[in-house]
Chains A and B, each alone.
Chain A
Amino acid sequence: MNTDKSTQVKIVEKHIANLHAGYHGRAEGLFPAPDALGDFRWTDDLILSTYYQAEYGRPPENGMEYRTGRSGGGFDVLDFKFLPKVDWLPTEAEIDISLPLNKRGEGRKITIDLPIYGGGMSYGSISEQVMLSRVMAAKKWNTYISTGEGGYPSGLVEYKDNIITQVATGMFGVNEQTIKYAPIVEFKYAQGAKPGLGGHLLGDKATDTVAELRESVPWVSLFSPFPFHSVYSVEDHRKHVDWIKTTNPNALVSVKVSTPTDVDMVAVGSYYAGANIIHLDGSYGGTGAAPEIAKKNIAMPIEFAVPKVHNYLSNENIRDEVVVMASGGVRTAYDVAKIIALGADGAILGTGELVALGCTRCSNCERGRGCPFGLTTTDPLLSQFVTPDWGAQRISNLYGSYAYQLRDILRKLGLTSIGQLRGRKDLLRYLGSEGNGSSEQDEQG
């Protein structure tokens, strides 16, 4: 676009104003939901109720379904068995939803204020503005986001105490400095949306600045190979952990893995290699770009993996020494609570945060200049559609709504802490194979 700077500013201002008005209008129900919005997993109601929560910091009361989708399985066929109303804890009851992230005897103690942190989304797959929005919200809630595998834009350094440095197979942006910054270092062995396939940043998004941070060639597609060429056994993984611990002895270590049939064995191996956090990323998780065939078909959904791992670690008598975090299709506060009831300690969010910033789940993240809403893009003009202050407030409001709902769920179950919910499958009810999935919601591809 051949326009001068002031014109560009005006164009950006115009579209920001229109977008904000649109998010507000749709969340409030001033305009009907677009027919093409939503799919089985993220229904139009879930998307618009997330807009609502991002605006107001509480769940909607206008009849929108903000708790479950209509996929006909997993979270969407489970519900809580709340106590009779007379047995609910009083609304003023103290309910603790904080989560300690180091359960081993040694090492730094870190506790987050709610059982949620932000998953890895790299610079390049998303804009710096979105990264800043996420980490500013994380700081407000005393929690974390992960860098993903794309390095550390300089603007993030002041928030390093709330940033997890991800070490993935391409080692993009990984150096002694970024390891030293990190309170937690996350090894990404696999990603739920494309298990076993490695990472992929399409050439159009590898801009000069992205390439500089990744020490690569601009406009050339980047692949993070799979697997780590230096890790072919748990012993090799242990050496990786030692490398991190030597560079930054205070860092906790998280191991992000996908959900193969032997995910329980992988979890045990990770624990014995020294992990503080085992991060299970289920197959229905988000991505900036992945082969469609991988999203549905490779590895199991998180709802099946978590109980498997929880049971195995319990039987090995090590469950209370390691934190299990779940991601990959956790869309709502109710999903967070359900995955904890199935055996996780907490959940990791990604897509939900982007929806709070206006994502419609249109699947065009990888196309051309990237996201038309300015989220999954590094396009100089588009990325201005999200300002960090606005974005941080939206995500923070979403977290606030989740915190409110988690306490409400616990109160109705008669529990006083989120830790008491872990592994309590007895507090769940199966709704039948259709569950909430009987809708004719369209599946936009």
Chain B
Amino acid sequence: MESGSNGNNRYDRYHIETKPAPDISEWPTRFTVEVGKIGLAKELLTEIWHHKFQNWDVITSRPCMYGVFSGPVGGFSPQPEHCVGCLRCTTEYPDFVKVSHNPERKKLGDSYFTSNFIDAISYEVEQGMIPVKGAGYRGKFGGDGWDGMWTDMSEIVRPTRDGIHGREFISTVVDIGYRPNMLTFDSQGRPTGPTPRVISIPIPLIFDNPPPSVSGELIWKIYSQAANSIGSLAVLPLGAILEHNLESDHVIPLVAPEEQENIDLLSGTPLMIEMDGWDEQLHRHIHDLFPETLICLRMPFSSSEELLAYNKKGIHVFHLLADFHGQGEDGEFVLDLIRQAHTAFVEAGVRQEVTLLSSGGIIAAEHIPKAILCGLDAVALDTPVLVSLQAEFSGECADRNESEFNMPNNLDLDWGRQRLMNLTASWRDQLLEISGAMGLREIRRMRGEMGRAMFMVDLESEAFAGIEGYEYG
């Protein structure tokens, strides 16, 4: 699992093999294009008359460069799938060409995972590339949650980095597990106290167990094979792992207390097991059965006291859950919840000894560095994985258990694995952009680096203090 070397001790630079993986399910186009046929016919006749039945190249020259009017009957049968919304056609022919946002496209997703996020992921998973576009930012100024946070950059002094091409040397490796604050040794130099037990993964992204409405051998295989391909981890139900023979170093069994007996059926020693909620007996059983295996506690975001109490009981890896909209049980947003959890362990002096993973509300590439800056070690992706596989939301999908997602009927293992590889490659590259701008050479150093985060509430209060009508917060 250690990245950076192979069995021959030869250095391998981490790389995710991307290749195009177009949609398999037809989604509505981004734009609709309406051409008034009478208007177009009139225009054609006018031009033919003007040019006296000559200059056909001029007469048939149309404004679109992207192929919307390139069918056999040109503008009479526009092809909106090619439309990029440049609006040149409607600027040249405002009286009979209309370009609109497609309301059907806008219906994709739900009120949190809006179609704009889906558009971004759609490009990322098709191409495996970073979305690059012209023109400046188009959205809201700031806002709540992730939108109220900016990341820092370093202007001139860059002791840790050698230019933009230095991004190849930014490490995205993170460790999951337990690192004692200090090691102790006896007089013979042998360790006497606890020793580190960590899994190093090459990117701070793992795949979280899909919700109950999305299950089945094919889905689980896509998750496990994608995790294997990128060298990361997938959390999958113990039952599915046993039934479909999915055991591997890249699959983390998720075990509910009532499944305790089934753990014994695992043929190998898992690197980590995730307990679905605290259960003392289950914890002891796992520990007794697999003493070297890391035990992760999956639980909702909780109070500092509760987290520290579990830590005292021997939990060093926490997988903290918000709902799919990033809300905790008391309505707080995941960004704040991460900061609270991180701070709790920092103040208790044990942050180095624990790993914080989280799921819920982290749905875009920019959310990854922001979550890490707030204190996470790694993100367990949930709904972005489903969107990558072209899942359709059935109404509002906030609840982790009740939400309904409809998967394409023609889902394919190779296609699904490639889409998840493309997603992680694109998000990793974007993480490199952000860390490169900061001058950070490894993502491990980004964790909890609040000095490199800027929050709208703070910036605005500093800038707008004294302006009539402005009140802090």
Contacts of B155 in A (CB 8 A): 189-190, 196, 227, 257-258, 260, 262-263, 266
Shortest CB distance A243–B (Å) = 16
- Tell me whether A291 and B63 are in contact in the complex, defined as CB-CB below 8 angstroms, given that A35-B100, A36-B85, A445-B116 are known contacts: no
Contact: B132 with A298, CB < 8 Å?
no
Which residue in chain A gives the minimum CB-CB distance to B142?
Answer: A73
Contact: B164 with A226, CB < 8 Å?
yes
Complex CA–CA separation, A200 to B130 (angstroms): 13
With beta carbons under 8 angstroms apart, the residue of B120, B163, B164, B464 that contacts A445 is: B120
Contacts of A368 in B (CB 8 A): 65-66
Q: Mark B114-153, 1 if CB is under 8 A from A, else 0.
A: 0010011000000000111111111111110001011111
Contacts of B162 in A (CB 8 A): 229
Cβ-based interface call for B366 (8 A): yes
Contact: B456 with A366, CB < 8 Å?
no
Contact: A428 with B140, CB < 8 Å?
no
List which B76-112 residues lie within 8 A (CB) of chain A. 84-88, 90-95, 98-101
Contacts of B149 in A (CB 8 A): 297
With beta carbons under 8 angstroms apart, the residue of A195, A198, A237, A295 that contacts B156 is: A237
Complex CA–CA separation, A372 to B64 (angstroms): 8
- Tell me whether A22 and B141 are in contact in the complex, defined as CB-CB below 8 angstroms, given that A196-B154, A266-B155, A365-B134 are known contacts: no
Give 11 A-B contacts (CB < 8 Å), ordered by A residue: A15-B61, A25-B94, A40-B139, A41-B138, A223-B165, A292-B131, A292-B133, A299-B153, A351-B136, A367-B84, A368-B66
Complex CA–CA separation, A437 to B142 (angstroms): 11
- Tell me whether A286 and B135 are in contact in the complex, defined as CB-CB below 8 angstroms, given that A198-B164, A307-B462, A430-B469 are known contacts: yes
Complex CA–CA separation, A71 to B140 (angstroms): 4
B interface residue numbers (CB < 8 A to A) = 31, 55, 57-58, 61, 63-66, 84-88, 90-95, 98-101, 116, 119-120, 130-143, 147, 149-159, 162-165, 365-366, 369-370, 430, 433-434, 436-439, 451-452, 454, 456, 459-460, 462-464, 466-470
Complex CA–CA separation, A11 to B92 (angstroms): 13
Q: Mark A21-32, 1 if CB is under 8 A from B, else 0.
A: 111011000110
- Tell me whether A294 and B101 are in contact in the complex, defined as CB-CB below 8 angstroms, given that A363-B134, A445-B119 are known contacts: no
Shortest CB distance A115–B (Å) = 20
Contact: B463 with A260, CB < 8 Å?
no
- Tell me whether A442 and B58 are in contact in the complex, defined as CB-CB below 8 angstroms, given that A40-B140, A304-B460 are known contacts: no
Contact: B138 with A304, CB < 8 Å?
no
Complex CA–CA separation, A363 to B84 (angstroms): 9
Complex CA–CA separation, A330 to B155 (angstroms): 22
Q: Mark A1-42, 1 if CB is under 8 A from B, else 0.
A: 101000100110011001101110110001100111101111
Contact: A425 with B119, CB < 8 Å?
no
Shortest CB distance B97–A (Å) = 9
Cβ-based interface call for A108 (8 A): no
Which residue in chain B gives the minimum CB-CB distance to A362?
Answer: B86
Contacts of B101 in A (CB 8 A): 35-36, 442, 444
Q: A40-B138, A289-B133, A363-B138 are in contact. List 10 more A-B contacts (CB 8 A).
A: A36-B101, A37-B87, A197-B164, A284-B141, A296-B147, A300-B459, A351-B135, A359-B135, A430-B464, A430-B467
With beta carbons under 8 angstroms apart, the residue of B92, B133, B452 that contacts A22 is: B92
Contacts of B90 in A (CB 8 A): 22, 34
Complex CA–CA separation, A22 to B91 (angstroms): 5
List which A406-445 residues lie within 8 A (CB) of chain B. 425-426, 428-432, 437, 442-445
Which residue in chain B gives the minimum CB-CB distance to A31?
Answer: B94
Contacts of B452 in A (CB 8 A): 261
CB-based A-B contact count at 8 angstroms: 312
Cβ-based interface call for A369 (8 A): yes
Contact: B462 with A34, CB < 8 Å?
no
Stretch at the interface among A74-82, A206-214, A386-394: A74-82
Contact: A18 with B63, CB < 8 Å?
yes
Contact: B438 with A300, CB < 8 Å?
no
- Tell me whether A294 and B433 are in contact in the complex, defined as CB-CB below 8 angstroms, given that A372-B65, A443-B138 are known contacts: yes
Shortest CB distance B438–A (Å) = 7
Which residue in chain A gives the minimum CB-CB distance to B86?
Answer: A362
Contact: A197 with B437, CB < 8 Å?
yes
Complex CA–CA separation, A263 to B369 (angstroms): 21
Shortest CB distance A166–B (Å) = 17
Q: Closest 8 interchain pairs by CB?
A: A365-B134, A73-B141, A196-B437, A196-B153, A18-B92, A39-B138, A22-B91, A430-B469
Which residue in chain A gives the minimum CB-CB distance to B368?
Answer: A293
Chain A residues within 8 Å of chain B by Cβ, number: 119
Contact: A189 with B156, CB < 8 Å?
yes
Shortest CB distance B202–A (Å) = 20
List which A79-133 residues lie within 8 A (CB) of chain B. 81
Contact: B467 with A425, CB < 8 Å?
yes
Cβ-based interface call for A364 (8 A): yes
With beta carbons under 8 angstroms apart, the residue of B92, B433, B467 that contacts A429 is: B467
Shortest CB distance B26–A (Å) = 20
Shortest CB distance A246–B (Å) = 21
Contacts of A3 in B (CB 8 A): 57
Complex CA–CA separation, A426 to B86 (angstroms): 41
Cβ-based interface call for A156 (8 A): no
Shortest CB distance B62–A (Å) = 9
Contact: A10 with B58, CB < 8 Å?
yes
Complex CA–CA separation, A351 to B90 (angstroms): 21
Contacts of A171 in B (CB 8 A): none
Contact: A286 with B136, CB < 8 Å?
yes
Contact: A293 with B462, CB < 8 Å?
no
Which residue in chain B gives the minimum CB-CB distance to A288?
Answer: B134
Cβ-based interface call for A180 (8 A): no
Contact: B466 with A289, CB < 8 Å?
no
Cβ-based interface call for A72 (8 A): yes
Contact: A372 with B88, CB < 8 Å?
yes
Cβ-based interface call for A149 (8 A): no
Shortest CB distance B472–A (Å) = 11
Contact: A287 with B134, CB < 8 Å?
yes
Which residue in chain B gives the minimum CB-CB distance to A1?
Answer: B57
Contact: A361 with B434, CB < 8 Å?
no
Contact: B95 with A39, CB < 8 Å?
no
Shortest CB distance A418–B (Å) = 20
Shortest CB distance B211–A (Å) = 27
Contacts of B135 in A (CB 8 A): 286-287, 351, 359, 361-363, 365
Shortest CB distance B82–A (Å) = 12
Complex CA–CA separation, A416 to B469 (angstroms): 26
Shortest CB distance B46–A (Å) = 12
Complex CA–CA separation, A269 to B155 (angstroms): 11
Complex CA–CA separation, A202 to B98 (angstroms): 31
With beta carbons under 8 angstroms apart, the residue of A291, A298, A342 that contacts B131 is: A291
- Tell me whether A41 and B137 are in contact in the complex, defined as CB-CB below 8 angstroms, given that A35-B99, A227-B163, A342-B463 are known contacts: yes
- Tell me whether A373 and B88 are in contact in the complex, defined as CB-CB below 8 angstroms, given that A196-B438, A304-B459, A363-B138 are known contacts: yes
Contacts of B451 in A (CB 8 A): 261
Complex CA–CA separation, A223 to B463 (angstroms): 34
Contact: B156 with A41, CB < 8 Å?
no
- Tell me whether A430 and B468 are in contact in the complex, defined as CB-CB below 8 angstroms, given that A287-B134, A287-B136, A296-B366 are known contacts: yes
With beta carbons under 8 angstroms apart, the residue of A14, A226, A231, A296 that contacts B137 is: A296
Contact: B153 with A362, CB < 8 Å?
no
Complex CA–CA separation, A371 to B134 (angstroms): 9
With beta carbons under 8 angstroms apart, the residue of A291, A307, A437 that contacts B140 is: A437
Contacts of A15 in B (CB 8 A): 61, 63, 92
Cβ-based interface call for A283 (8 A): yes
Contact: B153 with A437, CB < 8 Å?
no
